[in-house]
Amino acid sequence: MNAVLDPIAALGRAVLGLVRQSGALAMFALEGLSHLVRPPFYWRIFLSTLIETGFFSLPVVALTALFSGAVIALQSYVGFGQYHVQSAIAGIVVLAVTRELGPVLAGLMVAGRVGAAMSAQIGTMRVTDQIDALTTLSTNPMKYLVTPRLLAGTIALPCLVIVADVLGVLGGFTVSVAKLGFSPSTYITATLDSLKTMDVVVGLVKAAAFGFLIALLGCYHGYNSRGGAEGVGSATTAAVVGASILLLLFDYLLTDLFFSQ
Amino acid sequence: MSTPKIRIRGLSKAFGSKVVLDGIDLDVETGTSMVIIGGSGSGKSVLLRCILGLIEPDAGTIEIDGENVLTAPRGRQEILRRQIGMLFQNAALFDSMSVADNIAFGLRAKHSDRDGPVPSRSKARELAGGILQQVGLDPSVGQLSPSELSGGMQKRVGLARAIAGQPNILFFDEPTTGLDPIMGAVIDGLIVDCVQKLGSTAIAITHDMASAQRIGNQAAMLYQGKLVWQGLAADLMNSGNAMVDQFTHGRREGPITMELRK
């Protein structure tokens, strides 16, 4: 009897745990957002997070985008060569970068770099009573720690993705012209012909959603971390893994929403 | 009879099946320094955290100046608790800020409208130097980060941050834990000075009997979530209560038994 019921009970517990966790995350997000319209707003925290996320992530995002664009051009050239449609490479590169690779790769890089840092910083504050100290100093920790980071993440990632889009296309252009023998003017014309405003806009909408999710998961796991250094480590891992999975899930949902027809 | 500064009635809190506070009744008169003693897990820290609003109790009332903070609207709760300053056991300094910024943060955060406009960041940093001197530190310490300070210095800075907003109520959570006896006595002396200068009401929780007698003029003991004794701090060492006597003299035999965790 137990052999039959135990797995079902375990599955039920897992589903209930997932529902509870999702609800707690949603409530956390709502509370964080609600402080956007209730003063005071901590501009210094917002600006420092914006710079940390948007500016100091530039090198890693730029390099990732540059090489990804270059690799797509190379792979497409080899693959499309079988069907003699190498001329489509410029369009493939620009669409892949603006619609998918720019936001997704920038998001994953920022999740690893900034999401982890947010979780570790807030988690350390939690286990060393600094968050309680904020409360005793008449400062709402959600308003002080979470809301500025949510806003900064939502704004910073689209800015990074604009740079990633440009550099991704540049990577494809450089390989196509320098290595594969494309004419620069032909490549640029093909790129501009293939690119639609909607592709860039949807990529930026995705980036904003990803930035929000990364900051949300980083803050949520840090804020709820327990048990000293080990707890902070677990929270950081959970923040990065959770943000990466949610980012890919939302990428599918947003792609389906905007491009499925 | 005047209203106590802090009045607690029937305060209870359980975590799962573990009852941590069990119907606590406690009055702390204005200007009193109340020391709460008790073994580890007796509920001292939870009691303090309930008063501070860091933990929500399951039942009971907590009144500050006759007003129940648990049922007051959120904005009113914040105003009532704005008059509380707190020194944490590990000082809980913000490690992303310099020492001066920590104190300036306390000064600006606790500033109330009746005191005039909130001081600018640079003005608050200037004022922080004076507050550092009050706790026996040179103003140049303000430029250091908390990680560069010894445990005793961190406690002093924590005290400076707690008193920066000139609170009416001061809480101290194990103020001498981790300090050598001389530094412990120094911190206790600073606490007594600060409480007297501000005319504040103070609650301290501690295991350290020497510290308890230096800081407090009133004392209470918690055991298994219940208040088992209340009296003068001067009577702690010969209270006539078997539990208090066993605890204050550190005897193995007596009514207090060590609970093994199951």
The residue out of B127, B145, B167 marking a domain boundary is B167
Q: How far is CA A18 from the centre of its chain?
A: 22
Instruction: Say if residue B115 is in the same domain as residue B39.
Output: no
User: Which of B146, B167, B188 is the endpoint of a domain?
Assistant: B167
Phi, psi of B243, deg, nearest 5? -65, -45
Distance CA B140, CA B100 (A): 9
Torsion of CA A42, A45, A47, A49, to 10 degrees: -140
Average pLDDT, chain B: 90
Cβ-in-10-Å burial (0-12, 13-18, 19+) of B140 comes to exposed
**Residues B142, B103: contact at Cβ < 8 Å?**
yes
Six token digits for residue B12: 């209870």
Same-domain status, B79 and B194:
yes
CB contact under 8 A, B94 and A133: yes
* pLDDT for B179: 84
Q: Give a yes or no: residue A30 inside a domain.
A: no
Beta carbons of B37 and B219 less than 8 angstroms apart:
yes
CA pair distance A122, A130, nearest whole angstrom:
9
Q: What is the pLDDT of residues B150-183, one digit of tens each?
A: 999 999 999 999 999 889 999 999 998 888 888 8
By the CB < 8 Å criterion, does A137 face chain B? yes
Give the sheet arrangement for strand B18-28, strand by strand: B18-28, B6-15, B59-64, B67-68
Question: CB of A128 within 8 Å of any CB in chain B?
Answer: yes
Three-state SS for B28? strand
Q: Is residue A54 part of a domain?
A: yes
- Written as six digits, the tokens of A103 are 């936001």
H or E element, residue B84 = strand B84-87
**Domain identity same for B187 and B253:** yes
CA A122 remoteness from chain centre: 19
Contact criterion met (CB < 8 Å) for B54 and A132: yes
- Is A137 within the bounds of a domain? yes
Chain A residues whose CB is inside 8 A of the B93 CB are 130, 133
- On whether any CB of chain B is under 8 Å from the CB of A139, the answer is yes
Tally of helices (H runs) and strands (E runs) in chain B: 8, 10
Burial class (CB in 10 A: 0-12, 13-18, 19+), B49: buried
Query: Are B213 and B233 spatial neighbours (Cβ–Cβ below 8 Å)?
Result: yes
Chain B residue numbers touching A133 (CB-CB < 8 A): 86, 88, 92-94
Looking only at the bridges linking them, the beta strands covering B33-37 and B218-223 are parallel
Which tokens go with B14? Answer: 């359980």
Where a domain ends, among B167, B182, B212?
A: B167
Same domain, B41 and B114: no
Low-confidence ranges of chain B (pLDDT < 70): 1, 112-115, 258-262
**Beta-carbon separation of A128 and B52 below 8 A:** no
Give me the number of domains chain A comprises. 1
The tens place of each residue's pLDDT in chain A, 261 residues long, gives 578 888 999 999 999 999 999 999 999 999 999 999 988 899 999 999 999 999 999 999 999 999 999 999 999 998 888 887 878 899 999 999 999 999 999 999 999 999 999 999 999 999 999 999 999 998 999 999 999 999 999 999 999 999 999 999 999 999 999 999 999 999 999 999 999 999 999 999 999 999 999 999 999 999 999 988 999 999 999 999 999 999 999 999 999 999 876
Residue B162's domain comprises 89-167
Report pLDDT for A2. Answer: 78
Distance linking the first and last C-alpha atoms of chain B: 47
In this prediction, residue B262 carries a pLDDT of 47
Q: Does residue B47 sit in the same domain as residue B98?
A: no
B176 plus B247 within the same structural domain? yes
User: Dihedral of the CA atoms A241, A242, A246, A247 (nearest 10)?
Assistant: -50
A43 touches chain B (CB under 8 A): no
B108 in contact with A, Cβ within 8 Å: no
Residue B199, domain CATH: 3.40.50.300
Task: Give B1→chain A minimum CA distance, Å.
Answer: 30
A119 has a chain B CB within 8 A of its CB: no
How far is it, in rounded angstroms, from Cα B207 to Cα B185?
Answer: 14
The count of C-alpha atoms lying within 13 angstroms of the C-alpha of A89, restricted to the half-sphere facing its C-beta, is 33
CA distance B35 to B144: 32
Flag whether A9 is in a domain: no
| Side chain identity at residue A59, one-letter code | P
DSSP designation for A261: -
A-B C-beta contacts closer than 8 Å: 46
* Partners of residue A128 in chain B, C-beta under 8 Å: 90, 92, 95
- Chain B residues whose CB is inside 8 A of the A125 CB are 94
Q: Are residues B108 and B48 in the same domain?
A: no
Residue B95's alpha-carbon distances to A209, B22, B98, in angstroms, are 31, 36, 7
- Minimum distance, in Å, between the CA of residue A232 and any CA atom of chain B: 16
Contact A214, A107 (CB under 8 A): yes
Q: Is residue A27 a part of any domain in this protein?
A: no
A chain contacts of residue B54, beta-carbon cutoff 8 Å = 132, 135-136
Asked whether the beta carbons of residue B54 and residue A130 sit closer than 8 angstroms, the reply is no
Query: Could you tell me the residue range of the domain that residue A204 belongs to?
Result: 41-259
Looking at the fold, whether B163 and B176 belong to one and the same domain comes out as: no
B123 and B133 within one domain: yes
Q: Which two tokens stand for residue A126?
A: 């939690």
User: Rounded CA gap, B161 and B174, in Å?
Assistant: 16
Is residue B75 located within the same domain as residue B7?
A: yes
Please write the tens of the pLDDT for every residue from B28-43.
999 999 999 998 888 9
Q: Do A137 and B81 touch (CB under 8 A)?
A: no
What is the reported pLDDT for B260? Answer: 55
Domains contained in chain B, number: 2
Of B52, B90, B95, the CB nearest to A136: B52
* φ, ψ (nearest 5 deg) of residue B28: -125, 110
| Same domain? B102 vs B152 | yes
CA dist B1 and B4 (Å) reads: 9
- Block residue for tokens 């690119």: A195
Any B CB within 8 A of A193 CB: no
ipTM of the complex: 0.89
In the numeric block, which tokens belong to residue A94? 């620009």
Given this model, what pLDDT does residue B116 score?
72
In A, minimum Cα distance to B49 occurs at A132
User: Which among B88, B42, B50 has a CA at the least distance from the CA of B244?
Assistant: B42
Residue A124, chain B, CB below 8 Å: the answer is yes
Whole-angstrom distance, CA of residue A160 vs CA of residue A173: 20
Give domain status of residue A5, yes or no.
no
B25: enclosing H helix or E strand: strand B18-28
Residue in chain A closest to B55 (alpha carbons) equals A132
**Residue B67 sits in the same domain as residue B100:** no
User: Residue B92 is nearest to which of A121, A130, A139, comparing CB atoms?
Assistant: A130
In this structure, how many other beta carbons lie within 10 angstroms of the beta carbon of residue B194? 23
**B78 contact A CB<8A:** yes
